[in-house]
Structure 1
Amino acid sequence: MAPPLNRRDFVKGSAIAASMLAMPAIGTEAFAAQPKDKYKPRDVALHWLDGGAPTATIGTTWGVSWPQGMHARGTDFTVAAADGQTVPVQSWPLAVWPDGTLKWSAHAIGADAGKVEQLKLKTGRPAKGKQVVSAKTSGDRITVDTGVIRCKIARKGSMLIESIERDGQPIVRGGHLVCQTQSHMEIDPERATTFAAFTGQIDEVTVEQSGPVRAVVRINGQHRQDDGSRSWLPFVIRLYFYAGSDAVRVMHTIVYDGDENKDFIRGLGLRFDVAMQGELYDRHVRYGGEGGGVFAEAVRGLTGLRRDPGEAVRQAQIDGRAVPPLSTFPDAVSKRLQYVPAFGDWSLRQTSCDAFEVRKRTKAGYVWLESDHGHRASGMAYVGTPKGGAAFGIRNFWQSYPAQLDVRGATGDEAQVTMWLWSPDAMPMDMRFYHDDMGEKTYAEQLEALQITYEDYEPGFSRPIGVARTSEMTIWTLPATPTRERFVELGNIMQEPPLLAAAPEHLVGCGVFGRLFSVPDRTTASRDVIETRLAANFDFYRKQVDERRWYGYWNFGDVMHTYDEDRHTWRYDVGGFAWDNSELSTDLWLWYYYLRTGRADVFRFAEAMTRHTGEVDVHHVGPFAPLGSRHNVVHWGCSAKQMRISTAANRRFYYYLTADERVGDLMREQVEAVRTLRRIQPGRKVESGVFTATPVGADHPNVNFGTDWGAVSAAWLTEWERTGDPKIRDRLLASMRTIAAQPYGFFTGAAPMNLDTGAYDIVHDKPPIESHLSAVFGLVEICAELVEMRLDENFTKAWLQYCRLFNAPAEAQKAELGHVVGPLNLQQGHSRLTAFAAWWTHDTELAQRAWKEFYAAKNGQPVRPLEVVRVEPPAVIKPVDEAPGVSTNLTNQFGLAAMQCLALVGGELPPNGEPA
């Protein structure tokens, strides 16, 4: 076995390989151009994702791609407006190419830059701002100063945020995490139910960035029972600060590590106090409703009284301004104010995605009054006075129900605020599985059940141990009660944070993500039909999310797997046909569609899915960590725990486009995921003989070259380009080299892997085999990147052989392999493999074959407009749309095949219809 390469050998070997590999031709009519040798942008035009300049921001971070060889890792960047004025920017590398030049860079601008519509990123010394952000550590405290607010963060104890000051006045104090549990889901008078309260306790605090434009503080800890008897529910909190901003962005992640049969969470959130100054009639509460609506009242109201305090008084209170002096009030009012009730407690609760309620009461022990109702609240609130207060909110509030925003004790010196990510007024969080074992005691019985419900069930594997959820909150420390217009503006910033992006043309030009996408082109009838279908497929799923109400704390971001045309519903209750959990690369379909279109709605959809599939569908601690769970009625319910679900391939897009640290954590979790194959088999209940199982505890587990290695290589490639770690690089290269050295290359199927070196054993004693699932979980996309990097000539040959032969006729497979590996499924989806081989080798016949495979739509979708049918009651409970024959599997694979065939061999697409 060859030793790992050192850096000198690697650079030398890469240069030799590059000279030996054939460079695809540039600028031909049939094949996509290779723009990396031409595209050298002096500057990059940036646009706001949602169109037009935002009215305000709290600061913005985004990622930009670069062609290989253009910029050194340490290049300085500056941002300029259309008028030539520079904008202060903080920059850092996200990824590098194999030659060490920048592949992705991250950039942050402060709050003051948000109103500029046109910006450009270019090399140069960054401008210095009038205000900077800094994070300084002293003793047991970190102090972050944005130039507007000063936040003191504890390094131990339970008070994460000790205080937030503005103009020297502490307005927010005592920020801490809260959790409430109960021991049984259903309250039974004959069975004792115990309740417990927990507070977040800090274990570790890290300053990840300290300015000058952006500061990030990470806090790790667990929730500890208030009596000290137990700690559980690990959390990761990141606090984000920007120069010139009065806001703190809070990323909140919990990992469920309890017993789902007795740890029922009945409340989960972030709590803090807000200083209250002045008279009760100058204390204001605001809630964001729907459609820009605002609920705005005072703790002690001065409107609607039997005696009128005067229009000036009433209008000032309505506006949130300080009312005129009490001496100006009529005596009939001023002498009787003590008899006007003061409401100290307020609550907005979103009990479902379609219903919220605002309530208030004078104080505990007295009845709640129903103040208002609505459908979908914005998730924003405010409490304070004309002398200062706090606005606060939860992003994706109604989408992630049940959520709640509480204010308590607004009549005292401090009002207590709780942002409930799980409302204590809702039913407790139920993490249990949805059925008993139904007699599935043995492997044979479990396999039989799989044949009828498509559910891979095994006792003990349906537990939620280790699943996570990340939520986003924002706290503004304000100098006064905001106007209604400003309050709505803050809510919009929270729900759709302004994000800068480069145009799709720039991304295409840089050659990132395997060159597998192109800018939409409708210049021929054939292209127009494909583009129309691509758009219709996305729009259908976007509408289905709302129509089918795919919302909720644990559900938001996922879609369903398969449709039931008899019931006119998705198979939400049928085994493995329910929640999709990234099956057949839903994430990749959405992200590649965004890359080529730049559509904001596609980005937001894909963003929500990345949050969900990377957190909820993956076990982050416990016996299954860090693997993901295959599709199921319950996200974590399937006993097939696999790297194909937890793969970093699905997260890389969001990370590189936004520089999101939490997603960076998720990808790093996967670097050693392959080691779990020593004890957990990725697919136990499949036909015997497809791949050899690994004995539990084996030092060299069997790692297949498809779904397993696709995930392994994605994790290793990403870690290498993020860090430059030579050990990770060497493991990746060794795995590539030894796949290529197999007798049948990728068609060897699997082999034992040395987990320390990454090298596979060479297998000589079995015929070629293949699964139709091998390449549909990110393998195609990662291999496209690896081949483009020209790291190993023999690997490139092995991959091209696989691409060429997968859909090839039996006689072609027989001639080259000595065996026939088919018939194989998902031929339409695999037409993109044929297209890649055609593109790389400049083979016109292969390009034509790729389009024939695509149009044949075998195990795929027909190339025609999507048919959508409206189904009306009483056939259904409410009117719904359905697409006959819809399948998320086939939608994903159609989308990826269409986009990649257009990018690679679009020139061979007949202009007016199906190939002959």
Structure 2
Amino acid sequence: MNNRFDFSRRKFLKDSIVLAGTPLIIKNTPLDFASLYNPGLSAKLFWIEKGGGPAATGLTWGTPWPKGKLKRGSDFYLTDAVGEKKALQSWPLAYWPDGSLKWTGHAAAAGLSVNSDYTVVAGKTVPYQEEVVIKESAGSILINTGKITCAINKKGKVLIENISINNKPVATEGRLIVLVQDQPDDDDIEIINKQELQGSIDSVTVEQNGPLRAIVKITGTHIGQEVTLLPYVIRLYFYANSDEIRLLHTLIYDADEKKQFIKGVGISFDVPLNDELHNRHIRFVNSAHNGMFAEAVRGLTGLRRDPGKQIKEAQLNGKATVPVSQFPPEIAENLKYIPAFGDYTLFQGDSTGFSIKKRTASGYSWLASGRGERALGTVYLGTPQGGLAAGIRNFWQSFPAQLDIRDAATATGKINLWLWAPNAQAMDLRFYHNGMGQDTYELQREGLDITYEDYEPGFGTPHGVARTSEIVLKGLAATPTRDELLYIAHNIQEPARLICDHTYLEQLRVFGGNWTVEDRSVPPKAAIEQQLESYFEYYQQQTDFHNWYGYWNYGDFMHTYDQDRHTWRYDVGGFAWDNSELSSDLWIWYYYLKTQRSDVFRVAEAMTRHTGEVDVHHIGRFAPLGSRHNVMHWGDSAKQLRISTAANRRFYYYLTADERVGDLLREQVDAAKALNIIQPNRKLEGIRDKKQPDYTTNKIPASFGTDYGAIAAAWLTEWERTNDAGMKEKLVNSMVTIAAQPHGFFTGSGILHLDTGKFDITTSEALSVSHLNAVFGLTEIAEELISLIDVPGFTKAWLQYCRLYNAPPEEQQKELGQALSKLNLGQGHSRLTAYAAYYNQDSKLAARAWDEFYSGKAGIVPGQIQARKISGPYVLNPVEEDVAVSTNAVAEWGLAAIQCLAFAGKDIRPLIPYNNH
């Protein structure tokens, strides 16, 4: 290792934490905090995942606090089950309207026991026993966790110069690699030109600088011969007393999908190998039966001459053999005739199968070495004196993925971690049809009518979509035992994770008061809770039955089922990928909050990663809007705030303090500016033929439903994160001017001035209402806004909307001057009725909410999954199906069930009789 720095951990100065993407200057402090401090205030944590033992790496989570109890700058510590105090690194995540802390982020050093309960306590910080030490120079950053050191470059194409243990490198030359070619891998094309691009560094920022957790953010692009493609964002996470580095890899797609086909996306490390060939060890881990592929570069088993039990067992167990001079002579003299296999590849081509092959070197044949179903995605290369273990999280779920070992028979081996496998076909992200003549809005509406696809030339492009992946690098001072490597691999896939206990979250109402922890105390509630469980588990099954996996797909559900073909409508326009339609993200997150189940959390996490990255354009013409449901995630011409909405990401951000999701939330603060170019209603009859007003980036059309729900979610989250008075002012202005419309929310839409947050007040008395207005997060965000900001007119307007949407026609006529017609999703809107009942303490209205919920109007009649098994020649593979299930209906049923229980649970009555659906 090049020891360019001379420093002592004890000389480390505790610099202020630089929050990822959070302004360092808070613009307003409305309260005098002189006496605002409550030492002893505590929050219980819960192990949502336990891994296999003590947390090998450090942990990060978010903790909420009661309003008005803690000031900015409060200290915290951690206590275990026996009351022992442990140090925490803490920072603010969000503030209450009075400026007190609402959420704080916390990091703990490696080594917490998963067999202990933990509690965050407000109080004087405990002295640090371990520290992450950072030494920064003009060209590099050196980080010492106490277990490993890592040198990071600030420029060039080598991101990680080395990872070392006790001044001995176990990995060097960490580089990002992209392979690109000018043709797809099909279409019988004979000549394909390929080239390799390497990640080039544009900027390096220390986002957190310890003492227990450090984050280094690296941004750049991939550069080749006259080609610059695919911007990236890398975050490296380091924890005190940990030998692991967590690497969060975000790739933003900006290639020309018709001319540039990505053949491989990965990261490569060199691994120094200074031992005998028979003491160089290769490991791959299989998820099935905790299996493992374990070999040496030069094997000593199965030979015609037996080297003896001691030598063979040492090699099989990754230990150093006795010196060659002590080998049996017939072995020692002929070692040179035993082939040394220097190259290995594990290729996960789909979610159900992987293969392993090896060869001696380039230019020689590959040997088939093993097969399996789902690899855990962990590889090891090293010697008894140390090496590198590395793993890709959600490896088989995000196929095609690949792990390579190269040149292991030389002095410097190599590990390649491929997020997109070069052994697979190149990415082909071209649109899937030629438009079929839909070159006018009228023809596109006709197409929508038959396939539910909203097509428009030039809109079905992946330009600007992103994908975030997680990699763990672990420096080891010796080849791990097989059990140790299994433990490492399982911890990479399901890392130990602490999260605030959900009973505490419910008590503080930090995600609103529209959910409650699971309650089966009386039969009607038990029946609903059971149905919630059944639907979640049904979708777990469907994910596996129908292979909802893949680099660009993992984390999404399909939209609608095809009962004739016994499959989901993966190839039918707008019926294919769901893309957050009708708030499937919110359904899963609120169900997690109810149950605190780890499997629900993993589904919600994967959905947040997917819908926030793949379904949203982050750069380019459509940024930062999302794309409506389609055969291809980015294929629809409806680019909308309702898909990119911050409402879907807030849960994961606050629960985990994840910096990348923090980026996505901030991306949405000014997202509404894009509506001046792309109006969601531009194709509607009566609008498409009219000249549109002259909109600007600060004057845009916005509905009071899906648009405002997303705008308010972004502004609310930004206000919480920064306590920015200007952001609150825009929220208040928007609330006041919606309330001032002739019919409040029933006015439907208006012209929004983004610089002030004010809507123009219309003089029209026309009513406008859509069944979609409230079902993309507006319901949930409005409830939070009312609880945080006192704008009586807004509260009145929202309660009117909640009360009247499902009201009898005569009641609508009396209050609005006319009855509302063609309203849909009656069951889903029962939660609005329930909220109005709760707010006004109206038991009669609560009874109406339950009637609406049980009726199943445009939803699901209460009952359990009625799945039947289909097998034989009617399907490719056996499946279980319930033809009455659609993701729209289940998401709305789930949200209605959860919120009716929360708002009207005390008025629940026995279930009315129902038929199996």
Instruction: Output the TM-score relative to the length of structure 2.
Output: 0.94
Match of 1:274 among 271, 274, 296: 271
Q: Kindly tell me: are residues 756 and 446 of structure 1, through their superposed partners in 2, closer, same or farther at Cα, counting changes over 3 Å?
A: same
SS, match of residue 577 in structure 2: coil
Match of 1:290 among 287, 290, 300: 287
Counterparts of 1:867 and 1:319, CA distance in 2: 50
Deviation for aligned residue 1:8: 12
Aligned to 1:480: 478
Q: Kindly tell me: are residues 531 and 689 of structure 1, through their superposed partners in 2, closer, same or farther at Cα, counting changes over 3 Å?
A: farther
Aligned to 2:609: 611
Deviation for aligned residue 1:192: 4.1
Q: Kindly tell me: are residues 10 and 739 of structure 1, through their superposed partners in 2, closer, same or farther at Cα, counting changes over 3 Å?
A: farther
Deviation for aligned residue 1:791: 2.8
Letter in structure 1 aligned against 2:782:
C
Q: After superposing the two structures, state which structure 1 stretch, 179-188 or 426-435, moved more.
A: 179-188
Q: Kindly tell me: are residues 378 and 629 of structure 1, through their superposed partners in 2, closer, same or farther at Cα, counting changes over 3 Å?
A: same
Counterparts of 1:334 and 1:844, CA distance in 2: 88
Taking the TM superposition and a 5 Å limit, the aligned residue runs for 1:85-124 are 85-124=84-123
Taking the TM superposition and a 5 Å limit, the aligned residue runs for 1:739-758 are 739-758=738-757
Counterparts of 1:829 and 1:643, CA distance in 2: 21
Aligned to 2:255: 258
Counterparts of 1:889 and 1:89, CA distance in 2: 42
Letter in structure 1 aligned against 2:108:
I
Aligned to 2:677: 679
Aligned to 2:15: none
Taking the TM superposition and a 5 Å limit, the aligned residue runs for 1:404-803 are 404-688=402-686, 694-695=692-693, 697-698=695-696, 700-803=699-802
Letter in structure 1 aligned against 2:791:
D
Counterparts of 1:329 and 1:62, CA distance in 2: 53
Matched, 1:891 2:890: yes
Per-residue CA shift, 1:715-738, capped at 9, x if unaligned?
000011001122222111111111
Counterparts of 2:913 and 2:758, CA distance in 1: 44
**Counterpart contact for 2:518–2:595, Cα < 8 Å:** yes
SS, match of residue 336 in structure 2: helix
**Counterpart contact for 1:694–1:701, Cα < 8 Å:** no
Taking the TM superposition and a 5 Å limit, the aligned residue runs for 1:56-205 are 56-186=55-185, 192-205=191-204
Aligned to 2:814: 815
Deviation for aligned residue 1:41: 8.7
Q: Kindly tell me: are residues 693 and 338 of structure 1, through their superposed partners in 2, closer, same or farther at Cα, counting changes over 3 Å?
A: farther
Sequence identity of aligned pairs in percent? 52
Q: Kindly tell me: are residues 190 and 865 of structure 1, through their superposed partners in 2, closer, same or farther at Cα, counting changes over 3 Å?
A: closer
Per-residue CA shift, 1:567-593, capped at 9, x if unaligned?
111000000000000000000000000
Q: After superposing the two structures, state which structure 1 stretch, 151-160 or 43-52, moved more.
A: 43-52
Per-residue CA shift, 1:839-884, capped at 9, x if unaligned?
1111111111111111111001111222111112122122101112
SS, match of residue 850 in structure 2: helix
Letter in structure 2 aligned against 1:202:
I
Letter in structure 2 aligned against 1:285:
I
Q: After superposing the two structures, state which structure 1 stretch, 324-333 or 654-663, moved more.
A: 324-333
Aligned to 2:232: 235
Counterparts of 1:609 and 1:191, CA distance in 2: 39
Deviation for aligned residue 1:188: 6.7
Aligned to 1:20: none
Q: Kindly tell me: are residues 903 and 393 of structure 1, through their superposed partners in 2, closer, same or farther at Cα, counting changes over 3 Å?
A: same
**Counterpart contact for 1:59–1:114, Cα < 8 Å:** no
Q: Kindly tell me: are residues 914 and 65 of structure 1, through their superposed partners in 2, closer, same or farther at Cα, counting changes over 3 Å?
A: farther
SS, match of residue 275 in structure 2: coil
Counterparts of 1:828 and 1:779, CA distance in 2: 16
Deviation for aligned residue 1:235: 0.2
Per-residue CA shift, 1:195-224, capped at 9, x if unaligned?
121000010111000111110000010001
Which runs of 5 or more structure 1 residues have no equivalent in the other structure?
1-6, 13-38
**Counterpart contact for 1:135–1:207, Cα < 8 Å:** no
Per-residue CA shift, 1:110-162, capped at 9, x if unaligned?
11224452111111122233321122311110111101111111111111101
Counterparts of 1:577 and 1:862, CA distance in 2: 22
Q: Kindly tell me: are residues 267 and 749 of structure 1, through their superposed partners in 2, closer, same or farther at Cα, counting changes over 3 Å?
A: same
Q: Kindly tell me: are residues 732 and 690 of structure 1, through their superposed partners in 2, closer, same or farther at Cα, counting changes over 3 Å?
A: farther
Q: Kindly tell me: are residues 167 and 9 of structure 1, through their superposed partners in 2, closer, same or farther at Cα, counting changes over 3 Å?
A: closer
**Counterpart contact for 1:345–1:361, Cα < 8 Å:** yes
Q: Kindly tell me: are residues 811 and 189 of structure 1, through their superposed partners in 2, closer, same or farther at Cα, counting changes over 3 Å?
A: closer
Counterparts of 2:660 and 2:185, CA distance in 1: 35
Q: After superposing the two structures, state which structure 1 stretch, 740-749 or 190-199, moved more.
A: 190-199
Deviation for aligned residue 1:170: 1.5
Aligned to 2:219: 220
Q: Kindly tell me: are residues 188 and 883 of structure 1, through their superposed partners in 2, closer, same or farther at Cα, counting changes over 3 Å?
A: closer
Letter in structure 1 aligned against 2:756:
T
Counterparts of 1:191 and 1:52, CA distance in 2: 48
**Counterpart contact for 1:40–1:67, Cα < 8 Å:** no
Aligned to 1:24: none
Letter in structure 2 aligned against 1:259:
D
Instruction: Output the TM-score relative to the length of structure 1.
Output: 0.94
Q: Kindly tell me: are residues 231 and 75 of structure 1, through their superposed partners in 2, closer, same or farther at Cα, counting changes over 3 Å?
A: same
Q: Which runs of 4+ in 1 moved over 3 A?
A: 7-12, 39-42, 51-56, 186-192, 683-699, 911-915
Q: Kindly tell me: are residues 696 and 442 of structure 1, through their superposed partners in 2, closer, same or farther at Cα, counting changes over 3 Å?
A: farther
Counterparts of 2:769 and 2:858, CA distance in 1: 17
**Counterpart contact for 1:53–1:117, Cα < 8 Å:** no
Letter in structure 2 aligned against 1:216:
I
Counterparts of 1:834 and 1:446, CA distance in 2: 36
**Counterpart contact for 1:641–1:682, Cα < 8 Å:** yes
Deviation for aligned residue 1:494: 0.5
Matched, 1:393 2:391: yes
**Counterpart contact for 1:694–1:702, Cα < 8 Å:** no
SS, match of residue 376 in structure 2: coil
SS, match of residue 437 in structure 2: coil
SS, match of residue 113 in structure 1: coil
Deviation for aligned residue 1:89: 1.4
Per-residue CA shift, 1:206-251, capped at 9, x if unaligned?
10001111100000100011x3x12121000000000000111100
Counterparts of 1:527 and 1:189, CA distance in 2: 60
**Counterpart contact for 2:150–2:160, Cα < 8 Å:** yes
Aligned to 1:339: 337
**Counterpart contact for 1:707–1:773, Cα < 8 Å:** yes
Which runs of 5 or more structure 2 residues have no equivalent in the other structure?
1-25, 32-37
Taking the TM superposition and a 5 Å limit, the aligned residue runs for 1:786-865 are 786-865=785-864
Counterparts of 1:434 and 1:664, CA distance in 2: 33
Deviation for aligned residue 1:326: 1.5
Counterparts of 1:466 and 1:912, CA distance in 2: 48
Letter in structure 2 aligned against 1:582:
S
**Counterpart contact for 1:132–1:243, Cα < 8 Å:** yes
Q: How many residues align?
A: 881
Counterparts of 2:398 and 2:186, CA distance in 1: 25
Per-residue CA shift, 1:294-337, capped at 9, x if unaligned?
11000011111111111000000000000112222110101110
